[in-house]
Chain A
Amino acid sequence: MATSSKFLDWFSEAKSRTTLRRMETDDNFHLIRDNYLFKQFSPDAVAFVLSHLIERRYNNNDLIFKEENPSICFFILKQGKAEIFVTPSPGVKIVYETVDPGQLFGEVSVLSSSSRTASVRALENDTVMLLMSTFDLEELCRVYPIDGLKLLRAIAGRISDYLATTTRKLRAAQAELHEIKQKLDSHDG
């Protein structure tokens, strides 16, 4: 029993080493390996992600996705620049963030199967995106459930970071508002 278990461990390690060696030749390996979402992934799960990525090339000003559309893919910017924005009313554009190479976006709405909360467009010619669809993500979670759990933890961590940042900003804004109010009160007095 112990021998067979040792053999299985050895086999699994050997397989992982072979997978890693094979993956290292892939252009996108480091982009994926260094991403917060896949950092904790097993070599097999990373290989799965690499084999399911779709590469697309965009021109300057091309819309990558539009707010309120269903979320089918999440994107990793491989090359170029993109911006995330919302248009609350015609003629008004609020830019949330400018995306740099290596950054990932659209993952939260894909995982929650909700509509897009913002639009994204390319800011340069030859902007290259790596896409992974919700179908492949579901398959990943089915085939590698432990890695699926790691993915959920990473997303939860990211959302809690966002929440903490937003709360901090809100508190700072509240404090600022309070200060302004006090100044106004003292000025009136």
Chain B
Amino acid sequence: MTGDQKLRNLTIAITSGIVLAVLSLSVLYEARLLIRPVLAGLLVAHILYPVVKLARQAGVPKWITIVVIFLPMVSGCVFVVSSLVPAIAEEIVAFKGSQEVVGELQPGPMAGTLPDFRFPGDRAPDGVVPEGKLVKRQPVGSDVARSNLIYIGEQIYKTLERFGLVQETETHTEMIELVTGYITEMFTDLVAWLGSVAPEGGQFLLLFFFVLIFALLDGDKFYKGLLSLIPNTYIEPGIFMLRKTIDMWGYYLRGLIVENLIMFFVSFVLLLILKIFVEVTFIMALSIALIIAVTNVVRIVGPAFGACVGVILVLASLDVSAVEDVEAARRNLMHASFGVLCIVAFVQLLDSVVILPLVMRDQVNIHPVICLLGIFLGGVIGGIVGMVLAVPFIAGAKVIYRVLTVEMKRFDMHAGAVPSYLSTDMVGVG
């Protein structure tokens, strides 16, 4: 083969590779709505399949095991939704409470003369006051309409003031209003987004549970189906690679579950200890521990998100109208929030230093940069689910790479081809 031919072949190979990669990514991106629930279903099924298999070997029919698995899953979802959604909803109501449209603006000398009102074009916590509307200012410091988050914001601002890090009084009021405006906008967007993705979420859950049930019921057939794709020549190396990959990936995923279960129990115990010093309800402690454990699945980004959701839950737990000493209750909330943040930080440290090395034993060690890139790419392709699945999939890819580059070297990959010396003219002794 001449140098030109080699170059041509190389160019063709590289171009085909790039075209194939772009095509695969486009197909993945276009089919992401379908891929997300299917992948999530297969992943969960892969984690849970050993349970179904063990139960089957003990004589328990598969459908009974599946029902037993589904009950806590569904009740867990209901519990999280029923405790988290009302808390966030209350917080939104509290934010919105500071803005009240009181009427239509009449043209005339009134405009600009009433200090307790905002006029069209003025900045309000909910955005800019629209034309023809009049918004009543809620005095900062009113306990009735304010959110607990604003209160915490105020306290932080006051502390910064005390240390001379920010300017006081008027700027303070403006600042609080500005922050309130941004947060309210964020919450409104979040609610609008939740409303828009609700039908998609329904479709996701439907397909997810369908794939999960199918994969749990027919896991063996699925495995055999995969094997049937391997040509006879490579059946032994193929089985070896598939099983090694499935096993190592399974160890990783189950390790992830064990790790997060440990994190759940440690956080829960620490939150119960925190309960001695500040007022945190048992259900609240349970919910926060659950959130810390669940969000930890998405490496790096997850714990920060979990901490935020945990603090929001704590802050949203106070019903201002139901307590007598609002200030004391809010001080308690502040301490509780700080405690939750400390617990999240401690649990993360414990996870990195003790739990992860113990549970995973360095089986699938992923570099943080690759981890972050994967989470970003997963987010682009599959949204939140993509972010959750990113790390397990990187782990899977790494396992395949390790099996291909290390373990498979033991095989003579030309095993299936009949060697030339086995031609008809060979000497037979037998």
Contacts and interface: CB of A to CB of B under 8 A. Distances in A.
Interface of A: 15, 44, 48, 51-52, 54, 56-58, 61-66, 68-70, 72-73, 85, 87, 90-96, 121, 131, 133, 135, 143
B415 interface: yes
B168 interface: no
Given A73-B236, A91-B426, A63 B410 contact: no
B85 interface: no
A52 B243 CA distance: 13
Contacts of B417: 63
B236 A95 contact: no
Nearest to B429: A94
21 contacts: A15-B59, A44-B57, A51-B220, A56-B235, A58-B232, A62-B418, A63-B233, A63-B418, A64-B232, A65-B236, A68-B412, A72-B240, A85-B430, A87-B421, A91-B427, A93-B427, A94-B430, A131-B235, A133-B239, A135-B247, A143-B57
Given A93-B422, A94-B430, A54 B415 contact: no
A54 B235 CA distance: 10
Contacts of B243: 133, 135
Most-contacted residue by chain B among A52, A121, A131, A135 (CB, 10 A): A135
B411 A69 contact: yes
Interface in B189-243: 220, 224, 227, 232-233, 235-237, 239-240, 243
A72 B429 contact: no
Nearest to A132: B239
A87 B426 CA distance: 10
Contact of B427 (A51, A62, A92): A92
B240 A54 contact: no
Interface in B226-285: 227, 232-233, 235-237, 239-240, 243, 247
Contacts of A121: 418, 422
Interface of B: 57, 59, 220, 224, 227, 232-233, 235-237, 239-240, 243, 247, 410-412, 415-419, 421-422, 426-430
Contacts, number: 77
Nearest to B59: A15
A70 B232 contact: no
A92 B427 CA distance: 5
A56 B232 contact: yes
Given A87-B419, A135-B243, 20 more contacts: A44-B57, A57-B232, A58-B232, A62-B232, A62-B418, A63-B416, A63-B417, A65-B415, A69-B236, A69-B415, A70-B240, A70-B410, A73-B236, A85-B430, A87-B421, A93-B428, A93-B429, A121-B422, A131-B235, A131-B239
Which 3 A-B residue pairs are closest in the complex by CB-CB distance?
A95-B430, A66-B415, A72-B236
A87 B430 CA distance: 12
Nearest to B244: A135
Contacts of A54: 224, 227, 235, 239
Contacts of B236: 65, 69-70, 72-73
B278 to A, nearest CB: 49
B412 A69 contact: yes
A182 B245 CA distance: 63
Contacts of A92: 426-427, 429
A57 B351 CA distance: 50
A54 B243 CA distance: 14
Nearest to B224: A54
Contacts of A131: 235, 239
Contacts of A135: 239, 243, 247
Contacts of A52: 220
Contacts of B239: 54, 72-73, 131, 133, 135
A91 B421 contact: yes
Given A15-B59, A92-B426, A63 B220 contact: no
Contacts of B422: 87, 93, 121
Most-contacted residue by chain A among B235, B240, B426, B428 (CB, 10 A): B235
Contacts of A63: 233, 415-418
A90 to B, nearest CB: 4
B411 to A, nearest CB: 6
Contacts of A90: 421
Contacts of B220: 51-52
A48 B247 CA distance: 19
Contacts of A70: 236, 240, 410-411
A61 B426 contact: no
A93 B418 CA distance: 13
